[in-house]
Chains A and B, each alone.
Chain A
Amino acid sequence: MVTVTDAATAGKIAAAVPDPELPMLTLADLGILRGVRAEGDVVVVTITPTYSGCPALREIAGDLRYRLRQAGFAHVEVRSQLAPAWTSDWITPSGRRKLAAAGIAPPGAAGQRASGPVPLTLTAALRRVGCPRCGSQRTTQTAAFSGTACKALYRCDECREPFECIKDI
């Protein structure tokens, strides 16, 4: 039987698991941890995937099982929860600070879409993204995609350094 105190310990361990692609962030920082609870002997961890094809999800589930087992929880189950869909708005303030410190610009507000058809965007993103290195607001998006699904490429027009920015979705 997993007790309430144990479940709280398991919750702390799960929250501290690093993301494999953005290792400066924990699952809690990233906002993908939905809950950790005990069901009899089993610790059930529920996570929400960031992108449909995110290859990190399998790694995350494996890491969760491993770390919880190391901490003495013999039976661990990792479940995914698709709805509501993950949004970059769930990245915590501490997560945003860690991203910026690692040279990755945090996302802007994704917000809620108005009803009706999804609006078409025919120009490159107009949102002002601050350079995580020099702080200048004079930056240009060079590509809407980058090395992982969750990022876009920018360049600072002031310090000329390229950098990545988490997409707002």
Chain B
Amino acid sequence: MSNADEFTVYGGLSEVTDDHRWAFGTGFTDPLEGIDSSVPAGVDGAALARYSLMLGDDALVYSQRLQQWMTRAPELEEETAIANIALDLLGQARLLLSRAGQADGTGREEDSYAFFRDEAEFLNVRLVETVDADFAELVGRLLLFASWRLALFDRLSGSKDPVLAAIAAKAVKELTYHRDYAAQWVIRLGDGTDVSQRKMQAALCVVWPFIDELFTPHPAEASLPGVAVNVGTLRAEVDDVLHTVCATAGLDRPQRTGLTRVAGRSGRDGVHTEAFGYLLAEMQSVARAHPDATW
């Protein structure tokens, strides 16, 4: 380092020193470092990888959508709430994507899955990929997502795969307060003024068509008995929660039919909404412009 560099603001960032403190560009550590990565006997590794991606993509894509609310939230308290929820989901995504790389035997890293797959390779449900038009839609969508994922992960914490079970048990604690946050806001808006009631009801009508997809069993689940959760079995539990929240808020549960499948396929098969391509472009552009960079 020359003397001139010493006085630039960037000097300390790029210099290779013995300083252990994190500054910039030191690379992410593997979030599953040191954890037994073996696939349990009798479990199909490729199927386990696919299943991990399904659950990881839900969290990754939704986290990205929530992050787009940053600097746009109505109050600072809501800004921190949304940021924290997005961060929890990003953490869950990192663990699940890393698990996918272990299970399929490729050793592929989380960043490779997040930034170098194309639209049709993402396996998330379509609920998480569309844009929230307003705050009511944000909390309505979060209520559906967190209620469903909480029920799912609560079952998954008993999975035969010890890594998925551990990730799920941790996530249950987080999803519990995500759901409470969303439910409390849906009630506050639904039971609020005429305007907030009308907007909250309209928001539920927008997000409701995505529900059916959440509970449609997928062959990937059936191929992992004892490991994966059959989402078809979760509906009654989640419906109970949604009923309680809507009844308390004085809101009607919309009677909308599910979002159309394309030739029998949906988000879990890589079929996505138009909004998803734009989300991916934003999320992936920097990593693709600098494919050899470490972050």
Contacts and interface: CB of A to CB of B under 8 A. Distances in A.
Q: Is the interface of B mostly helix, strand, loop or mixed?
A: helix
Interface of A: 44, 46, 49, 51-55, 57-59, 61-63, 65-66, 77-87, 117-118, 120-124, 142-147, 149, 153, 167, 169
B154 interface: yes
A118 B89 CA distance: 19
A53 B173 CA distance: 13
B33 A143 contact: no
B244 A120 contact: yes
B176 interface: yes
Contacts of B29: 57-58, 61
Contact of B169 (A62, A79, A83, A123): A83
A87 B183 CA distance: 24
A126 B134 CA distance: 30
30 contacts: A44-B34, A49-B170, A52-B92, A52-B94, A52-B171, A53-B92, A54-B91, A61-B29, A65-B20, A66-B20, A78-B33, A82-B35, A82-B163, A83-B165, A83-B166, A83-B169, A85-B166, A85-B170, A117-B154, A118-B154, A118-B176, A118-B179, A121-B183, A122-B248, A142-B77, A143-B81, A144-B180, A144-B181, A153-B77, A169-B174
Contacts, number: 128
Interface size class of B (residues with CB under 8 A): 35 or more
Contacts of A124: 184
Given A51-B91, A86-B170, 16 more contacts: A52-B88, A52-B170, A53-B91, A53-B92, A59-B21, A79-B34, A84-B169, A87-B173, A117-B154, A117-B237, A120-B183, A123-B184, A142-B77, A143-B80, A145-B80, A145-B85
Contacts of B181: 144-145
Interface string B88-124: 1111101100000000000000000000000000000
A57 B31 CA distance: 9
A147 B162 CA distance: 32
A42 B81 CA distance: 41
A122 B80 contact: no
B28 to A, nearest CB: 7
Nearest to A142: B77
Contacts of B80: 143, 145-147
Interface string B7-33: 000000000000011100010110111
B163 A62 contact: no
Contacts of B240: 117
A163 to B, nearest CB: 14
Contacts of A63: 20-21
